Amino acid sequence: MSQSPIELKGSSFTLSVVHLHHDQPDVVRQALQDKIDQAPAFLKNAPVVLNVATLSGEVNWKQMQQAVNATGLRIVGVSGCKDDALKRMIARAGLPILAEGKEQKKNVEPAPPAPPAENPVAKTRVISTPVRSGQQIYARNADLIVTNSVSAGAELVADGNIHVYGMMRGRALAGASGDRDCQIFCTSLSAELVSIAGEYWIMDQIPAEFFSKAARLSLKDGALTIQTLN
């Protein structure tokens, strides 16, 4: 029997969500360009989801979409849309309207709690080999522990916390699924970029006194903070 020409499978991808808080396309375009200029390796030509929860049907959606596209970002969908007129404009533009996980669960009866497992498996992915430039390591629904060095141009992504016990020169993105309680722990922090739940610093924004030192990063009042790792 011949193999089917296609195969449909479920999968999971890490996407940045751009929350639009202004209805003027030129203002949004300039703000996006400023962000991209700060971290071109991370954001240039990146696929993004636009969250339009604060926008109404009065916005010129065609111009807004053109403004985002002009920065090089690739719009893969729109979330958070509450205005029916805006939904129609987005649909006419050929963009899918996405329901975020918490929206999908609103009308679903909660399942009864599962009995605790006798021997629960720790949700941790451990990498003991060096992470080379161009590699991406993703710990889905788990913490990520790297006991070796991470080269510039490498990327660590985890839905949970990230621990690096070697030289950290690449990019570390913790809380990739949106968990703002996640943290990043490094014994030698020289990262190109660090991010927790979408809040990020590029190398130049890491305070000089913590560079190449043992450090711990977390979110406080919605902003990245750093302290010495004791």
126, 190, 198: which is closest to 163 by C-alpha? 126
Domain assignments of the chain as residue spans, ordered by start: 16-102, 124-228
Domain 124-228, what fold? Pectate Lyase C-like (2.160.20)
Alpha carbon dihedral 130, 45, 103, 139, in 10-degree steps, equals -10
Read off the pLDDT of each residue in 56-76 and give the average, rounded to a whole number.
91
Task: Return the pLDDT at 167.
Answer: 95
Residue-wise pLDDT for 170-211, tens only, equals 999 999 888 999 999 999 999 999 999 888 888 888 999 999
Read off the pLDDT of each residue in 134-144 and give the average, rounded to a whole number.
92
> Residue 56 pLDDT more than 50?
yes
Task: Return the pLDDT at 177.
Answer: 85
Confidence of residue 86 (pLDDT cuts 50, 70, 90): very high
Confidence of residue 2 (pLDDT cuts 50, 70, 90): low
Instruction: Work out the mean pLDDT of the chain and round it to a whole number.
Output: 85
> Residue 111 pLDDT more than 60?
no
> Residue 124 pLDDT more than 70?
yes
Domain 16-102, what fold? Alpha-Beta Plaits (3.30.70)
The mean-pLDDT minimum among 8-12, 26-30, 127-131 falls in: 8-12
